């Protein structure tokens, strides 16, 4: 096993747990590995960990990997968030597509290992024999991984025709590919001072498509700012949907992405937290969704997280973009990035940076509706923020 493999896996997380900061760094090496993952700490080099890594490599190199065997070592190989995603895939009982996503996620730990690069491309070819990667590819190396539902979990930096490119593999059956292409053709040219990596080549197969974007040399760690997210929302507000071709139907369904699961769980969460509310919140929220869907719409990035909106003007990953009711991106950003702020502070930030001048009241109501759902992704220690948000949403919808 290469030293580089271990170094990549052991790369420390930027933010240590508050518990560890209080108790002191010396206690960290004594924690069980499962607890270390949940606390966001890097795993330690132990005999057990090395054995798991070797087992992982055996599963990757196996000609016919067994899903259950591979899944058995997921928790010790990947971060908590990705482990949850991969385990959810396993619970759906397998398809070759999910198996490919899992194996390629593990392979990102190999960096530029030539054998891993060959194995990766062989897996793509076996999954989609119609796929023909460019003959001039060289200098390949895994540069990261994600958890997108419509793409593989592995990303590569490659060289082609003298240029450094970013490679991402999409599943043709998923809507994220069409959303990315629409953004590239119609949204990115209108973003003014903002920059996004341009799609240079798209290699279509029968089941997969490989996209090659210009390489953006972006520092790994930057201070993400509210101004960056606000700038993105404000520039999207200047795009008139009537001046562009109609988007794919999935770009109009605002529940199609990560909101899909949240919209199923939020009514039950609110009903449990406010059992005496009249009308019952688990019944009222679906009705509010119908009213929100009728409000004015504008283009949204769909996932303006701190990893996608950077302070130097770069905006990444348009796979979840859509023509959504106003207030969507503001709710996503403020609920997740400023989750510990008071409700009064949240309202101040929205009014100062995100309220849409074209439809102020509609953007406010849309923001409240989406904020409730995105708040559901937060740890339960922030439940105290729900009452004021729900009360404000109820009043806004009552004015209808």
d(CA 179, CA 166): 18
Closest to 266 (Cα-Cα) out of 293, 289, 290, 294: 289
310 CB-side CA count, 13 A? 18
pLDDT digits over 187-231, tens only? Answer: 999 998 899 999 999 999 999 999 999 998 876 555 667 888 999
d(CA 152, CA 166): 14
Closest to 36 (Cα-Cα) out of 60, 53, 4, 12: 12
Q: Return the pLDDT at 11.
A: 38
d(CA 10, CA 17): 16
The pair of structure tokens assigned to 143 is: 């540069």
Q: Return the pLDDT at 205.
A: 96
Size (the chain), residues: 400
Beta strands in the chain (DSSP E): 138-145, 151-160, 163-171, 199-204, 208-214, 297-300, 322-325
Torsional class of 93: left (φ above 0), alpha (ψ -120 to 50), beta (otherwise): left
Q: Return the pLDDT at 99.
A: 65
d(CA 326, CA 65): 46
* Strands 151-160 and 138-145, bridge-based pairing: antiparallel
Closest to 376 (Cα-Cα) out of 259, 285, 287: 259
Q: Return the pLDDT at 200.
A: 96
CATH numbers and ranges of domains, the chain: 95-214 (3.30.200.20), 226-399 (3.90.1200)
d(CA 154, CA 300): 25
10-residue averages of pLDDT along the chain (400 residues): 36 39 45 45 42 51 50 50 50 58 72 80 87 92 81 92 95 94 96 92 96 85 76 94 95 85 80 71 80 93 87 90 95 86 88 93 91 75 60 62
What does the angle CA 328 – CA 220 – CA 228 come to, to the nearest 5 degrees? Answer: 35
Q: Return the pLDDT at 349.
A: 94
Q: Collect all residues with Cβ–Cβ distance below 8 Å to 128 and sequence separation of at least 6.
A: 205, 206, 207, 208
């Amino acid at each position: 096993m290469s030293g580089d493999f271990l170094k990549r896996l052991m790369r420390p997380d930027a933010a240590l747990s508050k518990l560890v900061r209080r108790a002191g760094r010396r206690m960290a090496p004594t924690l069980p590995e499962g607890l270390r993952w949940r606390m966001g700490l890097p795993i330690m080099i132990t005999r057990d960990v090395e054995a798991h890594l070797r087992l992982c490599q055996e599963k990757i190199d196996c000609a016919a990997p067994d899903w259950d065997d591979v899944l058995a070592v997921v928790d010790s190989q990947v971060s908590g968030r990705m482990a949850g995603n991969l385990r959810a895939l396993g619970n759906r009982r397998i398809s070759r597509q999910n198996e490919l996503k899992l194996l390629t996620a593990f392979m990102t730990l190999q960096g530029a290992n030539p054998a891993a690069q060959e194995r990766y491309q062989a897996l793509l070819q076996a999954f989609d024999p119609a796929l023909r990667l460019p003959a001039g590819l060289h200098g390949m190396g895994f540069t990261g991984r994600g958890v997108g539902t419509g793409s593989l979990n592995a990303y590569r930096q490659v060289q082609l025709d003298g240029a450094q490119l970013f490679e991402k593999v999409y599943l043709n059956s998923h809507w994220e590919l069409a959303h990315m292409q629409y953004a590239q053709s119609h949204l990115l040219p209108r973003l003014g001072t903002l920059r996004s990596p341009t799609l240079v080549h798209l290699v279509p197969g029968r089941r997969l498509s490989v996209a090659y974007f210009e390489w953006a040399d972006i520092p790994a760690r930057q201070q993400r700012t509210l101004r960056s997210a606000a700038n993105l929302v404000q520039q999207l507000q200047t795009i008139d949907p009537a001046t562009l071709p109609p988007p794919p139907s999935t770009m109009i369904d605002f529940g199609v992405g990560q909101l899909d699961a949240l919209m199923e769980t939020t009514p039950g969460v609110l009903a449990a937290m406010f059992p005496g509310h009249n009308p019952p919140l688990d019944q009222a929220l679906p009705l509010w969704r119908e009213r929100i869907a009728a409000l004015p719409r504008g283009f949204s990035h769909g996932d303006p997280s701190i990893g996608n909106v950077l302070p130097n003007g770069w905006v990444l990953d348009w796979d979840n973009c859509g023509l959504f009711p106003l207030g969507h991106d503001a709710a996503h950003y403020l609920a997740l990035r400023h989750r510990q702020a008071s409700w009064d502070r949240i309202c101040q930030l929205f009014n100062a940076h995100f309220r849409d001048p074209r439809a102020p009241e509609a953007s406010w109501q849309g923001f409240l509706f989406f904020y409730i759902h995105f708040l559901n992704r937060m740890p339960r220690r922030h439940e105290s923020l729900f009452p004021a948000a729900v009360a404000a949403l109820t009043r806004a919808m009552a004015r209808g």
